[in-house]
Amino acid sequence: MFRGLLINKDDDTYSAGLADIDEASLPEGEVTVDVEYSTLNYKDGLAITGKSPVVRKFPMVAGIDFVGTVSDSQSDEFKVGDKVLLNGWGVGEVHWGGLAQKAKVPAKWLFQVPEGMASRQTMIIGTAGYTAMLCVQALEEQGVMPDAGEILVTGAAGGVGSIALFLLAQRGYSVVASTGRVESETAYLKSLGATEVMDRSVLSEPGRPLGKERWAGAVDVAGSHTLANVCATTRYGGVVTACGLAQGMDFPASVAPFILRGVRLIGVDSVYCPMPKRLRAWEALSQEWKAERLGELVEEIGLSEVVEYGEKILSGKVRGRLLVDVNR
Ligand SMILES: NC(=O)c1ccc[n+]([C@@H]2O[C@H](COP(=O)([O-])OP(=O)(O)OC[C@H]3O[C@@H](n4cnc5c(N)ncnc54)[C@H](OP(=O)(O)O)[C@@H]3O)[C@@H](O)[C@H]2O)c1
Report all structural domains of the chain as residue ranges with CATH numbers, in order of start: 2-113+293-325 (3.90.180.10), 125-267 (3.40.50.720)
CA of 94 relative to ligand 1 center, distance in Å: 22
Residue 174 neighbours by CB under 8 Å, 6+ apart: 146, 149, 150, 151, 195
Task: Count CB neighbours of 160 within 10 A.
Answer: 32
Indicate whether residue 192 lines ligand 1 (CB < 6 A). no
Query: Per the confidence metrics, is the pTM higher than 0.75?
Result: yes
Q: What is the mean pLDDT of residues 113-117?
A: 93
127, 197, 221, 229, best to mutate for ligand 1 pocket (most atoms within 8 Å of CB): 221
How confident is the model over 157-208, as pLDDT tens digits?
999 999 999 999 999 999 999 999 999 999 999 999 999 999 999 999 999 9
Mean of pLDDT over the chain: 95
Query: In the predicted model, what is the mean pLDDT of residues 131-142?
Result: 98
Residue 296 has pLDDT above 90, yes or no: no
- The rounded distance, in Å, linking the Cα atoms of 254 and 232 is 8
